[in-house]
Amino acid sequence: MALHHYLGLCLLGLVLPLFVDREPAFAGMDEFPGWPEQILGVQMRQLPLTEREQHFVKGFPGKIGRFSDGKREVILRWVNTPSRKLHPAADCFKGIGYTIRPLSIEKDRQGGAWGRFEAVKGNTRLLISERIVNQQETQWTDVSAWYWSAVLGKQPGPWWAITVAETKR
C-alpha cells in the first residue's frame, strides 16, 4: 500500500506543474535590475565566470555573476522564472569531487536564514552558505521548497539565489 502512495505522489509531482497558471505571478519580471553595488554589506569586485559557469549560463532563466571581497567568493543567480536549472550548490560541489557535510541553518544579524554545508576536497575545506530571496523578502534555504513555492505561484519572482563560499580553517 505504501508503494502505491509513493508512486501516486511521484505522478502528482510530475503532472501538477502542467495545470498551474504561472503567468500572473511572473508577468513583467523579465528585466534584469543589474548587480547590486554591495553584497552582504560590503563592496565586492566582479570576477569572470569560470568555464563551467559559462557553460551553465546557456539556457539559464536569468543571470549569473561571480564576486569576491578577497576573503569570500559569492555567486549570485538572478532568476526570473521557476526552473530546475537553479539547483543546490551542494550538487555543484559534489559534481566537482567535494565531499559534503550538511550543517544546521544559521541566522545572520539581519535575521536572514542560510542553509549551510561544509565541502571538503583534499586539504581544501570550504564553508558554503546559501539562500534564495525575492523582492518581498521571502526566503528559502532549500531549492526544492523555493521551486514548488514559485511554480505553484505562491511567491512571485524574480528571485536572487546567493551562494557564499569561504575557506574554513
Instruction: Give per-residue pLDDT as tens, 148-161.
Output: 999 998 888 999 99
Torsion-angle region of 54 (φ positive above 0: left; ψ -120 to 50: alpha; else: beta): alpha
Q: What is the per-residue pLDDT for 37?
A: 87
Cα–Cα distance for residue pair 4/139, rounded to 1 Å:
34
Q: 59 pLDDT band (50/70/90 cuts)? A: confident
Cα distance between residue 159 and residue 60, in whole Å: 13
pTM attached to this predicted model = 0.80
Average pLDDT, integer, range 123-144: 94
* Widest Cα–Cα separation across the chain: 56
Q: Which three cell numbers stand for residue 73?
A: 567568493
Q: 66 — phi, psi (to 5°)?
A: -125, 135
Q: With contact defined as beta carbons under 8 Å apart, do 125 and 103 qualify? A: no
pLDDT in tens, 86-130: 989 999 999 999 999 999 999 998 889 999 999 999 999 999 999
What gap in Å lies between CA 97 and CA 8, rounded to an integer?
35
| Domain regions of the chain by residue span | 39-167
Amino acid at 108: D
* SS3 state of residue 62: strand
C-alpha Rg value of the chain to the nearest Å: 17
Is the pLDDT confidence value at 13 over 50? no
* 158 within 8 A of 80, measured Cβ to Cβ: yes
Q: Are 160 and 78 in contact (CB under 8 A)?
A: yes
Question: What pLDDT is stored for residue 55 in this prediction?
Answer: 84
Instruction: Say if strands 72-79 and 62-68 run parallel, antiparallel, or are unpaired.
Output: antiparallel
